[in-house]
Amino acid sequence: MFQLCNQQLSEERLEQMGVHIFEELSKMKVALVVVDFQNDFISGSLSVQEGTAHEDPLKAIPLLNSLISEKRLDLTVYTLDWHPANHISFLTSASDSDRKFKHKYRARKLEAFDVVTFKQPNTQQVLYPSHCVQNSWGAELHADLEIPDGAKFIKKGTQTSVDSYSALSDNNGSKLLELEELLKSNGISAVLVCGLAFDICVRHTVIDANNLGFLSGVVRDCSAAFSAEHAADTIKQLQSEDIAIVDSLMAKRIIRREAVPTEWICQLMDHLDSRTLEKENDVGRDAEVCDSL
């Protein structure tokens, strides 16, 4: 018996798994999703480097550009925070007439990074400095970032009353279909996510991608975290959900089909087990029908 992905496998079963996994990987198409590499998150009003993790996004750009230039990438997507000037996440707009607090916050002046609960709209929100306002310099992708031919762009956080950390859903849990449909229409089966901030928008995007059934991973050295504490929590959560955490060298090997994360192999094994169980159930139902005739 062999031990793999917490399963005891016979030699015959291991061989069957190997054939299936090889077939799946031979068809694999990989997308790189670059999250929110925008001026405001690099040197503007909400610089990631000012957080407790003290990670400089500029150091990630050469590694990221090298990854973007990989010829075997099937799709490159850039997401952008793209907020209206009175967005729900902005501290300066927290008391606007179109919103009401559920609780009174008069005991002290609200500050950046406070968490508040609105009665109207019905949502809880972290308050940030104004950032990535539509059509502003702060919302532009950094000038040193490479943009390959055929790249796609997804804007999020465009609605005044709801924030969107993930590029696949808003913070109220409603799905954002544009990126999901783009990935599926291009036949993408594996998604590598990187960008800003690792512990916020990258985290939520890659978890959503994984939940949608994509083989998912984050490229850690092509990302930068805001909070040291939240970055550690992010790593624990990703590991618990079998989301691969790789560096840019490993990401290149994945894109070139030279290597596969263990987490993806385990997911493919789980898919095969599910299909096998479904087939066995179908055979059982067919046998019951035949016996009743």
* Alpha carbon distance 182, 112 (integer Å): 35
Q: Assess whether 201 carries a catalytic annotation.
A: yes
Range list of H helices, the chain? 11-26, 39-42, 61-68, 177-185, 203-211, 228-240, 248-255, 262-292
Query: Quick check: is 36 catalytic?
Result: yes
Q: What are the distances in angstroms from CA 63 to CA 54, 110, 145, 165, 200? A: 18, 38, 10, 24, 21
CA atoms within 13 A on the CB side of 158: 10
H, E, C per residue of 12-48: HHHHHHHHHHHHHHHCCCEEEEEECCEHHHHCCCCCH
Contact status, residue 216 vs residue 209, Cβ threshold 8 Å: yes
Amino acid at 96: D
* Secondary structure percentages of the chain, helix, strand, coil, to 5: 40, 20, 40
**255 by DSSP, 3-state: which?**
helix
Helix and strand tally (H, E) in the chain? 8, 11
Residues 40, 81, 155, 156: which is the catalytic one? 156
- Using DSSP bridges, classify how beta strands 244-246 and 75-81 pair: parallel, antiparallel or unpaired: unpaired
Contacts of 187 (CB under 8 A, 6+ apart): 29, 74
Contact 88, 121 (CB under 8 A): yes
Of these residues, 40, 132, 199, 201, which one is catalytic?
201
- Name the nearest CA neighbour of 33 among 243, 260, 235, 223: 223
Q: Is 96 a catalytic residue?
A: no
Give the active site residues: 36, 156, 201
